[in-house]
Structure 1
Amino acid sequence: MNVNHEKMIAEFMNGESSGRELLELCRHDRELLNELAELTVMERLLAHQEQDANSELFAAEIKAVLSRGNESDAFVLGVRNRLAKEEQVSRVRWTAVLPGVLKLAAAALVVFSVYCWMYVNRPVAVLTNTAAADWNDKAVGVEQVFKRGIVDLKAGCAELRFRNNVAVLLEGPARLRIKSVDHVVLYQGNLVADVPKNAIGFRVDTPSSEVVDLGTVFGVSVDPKGVSEVHVIKGKVKARKNGNQRFVDLVENEARSFSKDEALARTIESNLDKFLRVLPGKSGRNPAYLHWSFDEGQGCEAMEKHVGGMSTNYPARLKSLRDNGSIPEWSNGQFGSALYFNGATAYAMTDYPGVGENHPRTVAFWVKIPEPDSMTPVYGLVSWGSMADIGSAWQISINPTESEGPMGRLRMGTREAQAIGTTDLRDNRWHHIAVVMYGGETADVSTHILLYIDGKLEKTSKKSIHRIFTDIESGLARTVMFGRDMGRPLDDSKFVSNLFKGWLDEVYIFEAALSREQVEKLMKTNQPPQG
């Protein structure tokens, strides 16, 4: 036990502190817990003895006065005899009371120990949802109860609901310590806290900052070096660098960066697309889908198979931008045959309008992209919709523009509405891709898009927050295409760029948001979810 512990105990015993921090320390320090328990019992014993001690002190003072008097005086002798009897009775009374006091002290110790145990072991939060979550220490499932301690998320996303109704969404890799129902410490990763009015004051600490909520939604990120950022999504928080600095108020669309190596916080541009804010609901067991297997191996059409609600077939017609140009070529695929697109003239067109508006969907396929060469990988693996507005086109591509994100990475979206992954796919190997949108009235790229590569959730370097409302009904809307960019007119035969170079195989479009387990099964078996 150190000097700081002694100070905390003194403040707690004097009623100057609630003891919350002290009790939290006791959970990890058995010696400190025992010391606090002993001091608590001692205080109660001393308080009880003090009542008798006061009367004994008074008697001692009277005896001192009387000792200066005439010992033959009858009054003095009487008083002395009476005091002697009272002292004897007092000793007898204390001897009789002592066993009861000790029993009371023992009971108090038991009650205190039970209180400490309950404080430590009482559930604080429950896991309400996950997306491709992998845990470092053990398997954790939805409805898992969390007590005070470490939450170690290796990858994916997890949503915790605290007893005070605070919702915390973690994006891995993340390490979080739950200290209490209204206090957590984020050591690494991304966190979004949605705090209702009844829980104002919810606190998030990091290695370099302290953030206190004032009734709001805010995001906190911590990199491996301990540098943290605070972004206010809605409402207001107060934040400061660790230590004795004053808090500063941050409101919607304001952000600060904190570093252990810098004396002051830095004002930074608000970047809400760093944070995932909503997780998908449960996926359908037998979702409707379309499937282009590309297993024909010859001809100018790739037939489509569909299940659920559709009576029309939507074959993919193999086309060229030029009358005498090359169309997609048949090649060996991951399952059976595949299509090779030359990046100059070849693409494919269907009559399927695609999934519209903000309805949930999953697009999955196998892709192989050559290593970087003189031809830059470009837009247009699978796409439909229109370019009439931001968010009205649905396009999956390989990012070709360094100013918008890392080159050669999986990209979902066009113009200012895109999410870009972090894995370079230009390695001349087959990769399984799945892009999942789980929809809803507030659907946007940041909160409603999950990218999977080879069955693993892809961490995105950029997440736009523009709303998704895919256009499949206007005169500008295009039906599903393979290998061609949405940004060029269909009759632009002179433009021989923005075409995909590489191989495509086993394209699925589901009218549902698949779970990670369903994506993994599809990748391994090439069979859609059933039952």
Structure 2
Amino acid sequence: MPDTDTLIQHYLEGTLTTAEAEELHELLKAQPELGERLLQQFDMDAMLRATKPLVADNLIRPALLPKRRFTFATVTSVAAMAACITLLGTWLMNAALNLRPEAEETTASVAVLTRGVNLEWDSATITPGTPLSPGWLKLKSGIAQIEFYQGARVLIEGPAELQLVSSGEATCTRGKLSAQVPPQAKGFRINTPKGTIVDLGTEFGLDVSAANEEVHVFKGEVELHQPDVTMKSLKEGQAMAIAGNTAMLSANASSFASLNELDARSAISQRFQFEKWLASSSKLNADAGLRLRFDFQDDEGSRSLRNHAVNGTQISDGSIVGASWTTGRWPGKRALEFRNVSDRVRLNIPGETQTLTMAVRVRVNGLDRTFNSLFMSEGWGDRKIHWQITREGKVRLGIAGSNGAGHADHDTPVFFTPERFGRWTHLAVVFDPAAKEVRHYANGELLTRSTLKDTEALKIGIAELGNWNDRRSSGGVAIRHLSGAMDEFALWDRALSDAEIAALAK
């Protein structure tokens, strides 16, 4: 049998025999790098053909060969060559796909709201943990701590208006702020209507009112830049009005919020929210339509979740498998962490459910799988339900048809983007046959409503929080566990209203 180079040459010349074509086909399958050599030969052959002089008219041309009938050998040779070409085309396509760079997710955020106390906003409501993109923050009252991606930490006191410009720059047009700027964030800038403060690695305060603007330096040094005025340098202990009377003043740290003050007020606020939630739990547990409620306040180390619904005697406690205890929304609030394929809470919802509302407090850390479970019936089919989050970030309620009929997926628009990972979120979904619709909510606000074509009762049966058992007897089980935590779950056999869900989310 000829060597590889000879086989390639015969292929280019069109003189491959059937046996040679089969041999080249096998070589291409066994040696993927041979495809690259074949491509190089194609390029060389094409170049030579393009530069080869035309045959002179006075040269004797070879006589045409007589037409021959196709034989079986001819057909098999052509088939083998076609297989080589197909294999080469597949190799080229795979190579092109491997060379294509994978699209990378991006974010426009430049800072993050890390903490807040008694926050009320004139702009869109923002909760701690929210990444912040360039734009205006208008704080009506409270204290907010913002950490810029370059490292500067800023406390703003409402009422205040702050425009984020970049990871190292902001503009304050109203209110008080204090800033801590570590050496790696040197050059951090705060603009005001009357000037710009450039920090050289320090701590300073800024008070912007309608009457005046003052900068106070607590540590280090800042530069004060103003239009048509020589730059001024302010050092530790010094303060100055940005316009008007520019006499040097003494810095007054006590007139600005400090991190210690934020720590103290934050602890008081969190304790108040936790106690308020505890007080409201007894009323919620007595709701006539509530069939299941896990508050996740079971003893640490417990391997079950108690059902606190007064009218939920038909639904037994949940059984914890794998999942570990962690801290919930506030200090003292417990939660379960779901990290591994084993982590889940097993429960059973017997009988048929004519109308359904479910609500959960969840912290999603990532969407690592095609489907990420919130609450899913075991197996699939015959009016079972799957409440889950897709890899794209859509919240989905899937409802199986009866007796092998097709299923229906009720999706939200994309909600869980990377900016929402790691934050506590309140989700709710309503199966409302009377209104012939499914409604999805996030943090008390309606996300979407979709038409419900099949209003037949649901048959939830055995189900799992944070995971799914597809009941396969062999071949492995689909991986759909949640990457995140839960600290509250409830299920009603009635359709909650928009107002009721908004109240739950507070």
TM bucket normalised to smaller: 0.3 to 0.5
Q: Give TM-score, length-normalised by structure 2.
A: 0.38
Q: Give TM-score, length-normalised by structure 1.
A: 0.36
